[in-house]
Structure 1
């Protein structure tokens, strides 16, 4: 049974699913009919964070040009440049057994590539969601639909996974930023020049 979450809700991942070792984080979206004449290219990323909530460096940032970190602890499965079709538009795999002990939180984000130049924002994106799937069984553990609360934002923290003792939990965030990837990088402690 899939659990549907609302913004701000938290749920245990590994305590109630003790066999969960490899989770697929599936992200999907549609674009509204008005696109300003340019194609949309949304990009999923992950920031691996220390106990202070900051990434230590580029080695803690997973995106379309850095697909795997920490010996496969987090792997981006590839860039979908048009978001066409049903289901997940981009995916990341998280292997909890490979996660370094110094990583306490993982921020899962989505940005609009060249949003300013293309005059695009998340107000033009609909049906955005994240889901967590147990890769071993194929079971969908949870789903968070972001809703239509965005207007000028060009980057969104979709969710965060975080350690709680020896277990991992999921928090539905849905927080937007209007300065794209550079705002997310600054938020998570990376210098985005």
Structure 2
């Protein structure tokens, strides 16, 4: 059984799991049924951040249109358009040993595609979670259930992996944003047209 975290908690990832080199970040959610008429399409993304808290370039933004970053150390397994079914809705694979030295953090986010046009927000989403899985064994190491803290937000910084004294740690963030993916991208240093 993995460690269950609350918002704001941090935990060692590699120190407590010697030999751990590759993990899968699983993100999941359910959408509440309502009569808005549009399907929900939630998207997970990863931002590879330098010590400035910003991405070095566009290649360090991993999402459904750019499935790899960090010289192949971060790989998005693909876009789930419906979120149907149990378990992880989207996954991002991380090879911790291959993350470039200039990358201090990997921030994981969930956004609602076309949220404004579809009048959707995270108040209509439930059971959101992120978990860290040992890719070799399939064991769940860490889980963070986001709870129902969101209402009008259309993007969430869910969690981050960060380097500290040569080890990787996990931080449960759970911070909401308005403005969807564009707001997040701008926050992390990308120019949005």
TM-score by length of 2: 0.98
Q: Is the 8 A contact 1:106 1:160 kept in 2?
A: yes
Please name the residue that 2:181 is paired with. Answer: 181
| Unmatched 5+ stretches in structure 2 | none
RMSD after superposition: 0.8
Tell me the SS of whatever aligns to 1:183.
helix
Residues 72-131 of structure 1: CA deviation (Å, up to 9, x unaligned): 200000000000000000000000111000000011000000000000000000000000
Please name the residue that 1:90 is paired with. Answer: 90
Q: Aligned-pair distance for 1:191?
A: 1.1
Please name the residue that 2:172 is paired with. Answer: 172
CA distance in 1, matches of 2:34, 2:64: 26
Please name the residue that 1:39 is paired with. Answer: 39
Please name the residue that 2:129 is paired with. Answer: 129
| Unmatched 5+ stretches in structure 1 | none
Q: Aligned-pair distance for 1:35?
A: 5.3
Q: Is the 8 A contact 2:48 2:70 kept in 1?
A: no
Tell me the SS of whatever aligns to 1:72.
coil
Please name the residue that 1:25 is paired with. Answer: 25
The equivalences for 1:24-173 within 5 A come to: 24-34=24-34, 36-173=36-173
TM-score by length of 1: 0.98
Residues 49-78 of structure 1: CA deviation (Å, up to 9, x unaligned): 001111011111000010011332000000
Q: Is the 8 A contact 1:35 1:124 kept in 2?
A: no
CA distance in 1, matches of 2:122, 2:178: 9
Please name the residue that 1:7 is paired with. Answer: 7
Q: How many residues align?
A: 193
Q: Is the 8 A contact 2:133 2:141 kept in 1?
A: yes
Tell me the SS of whatever aligns to 2:71.
helix
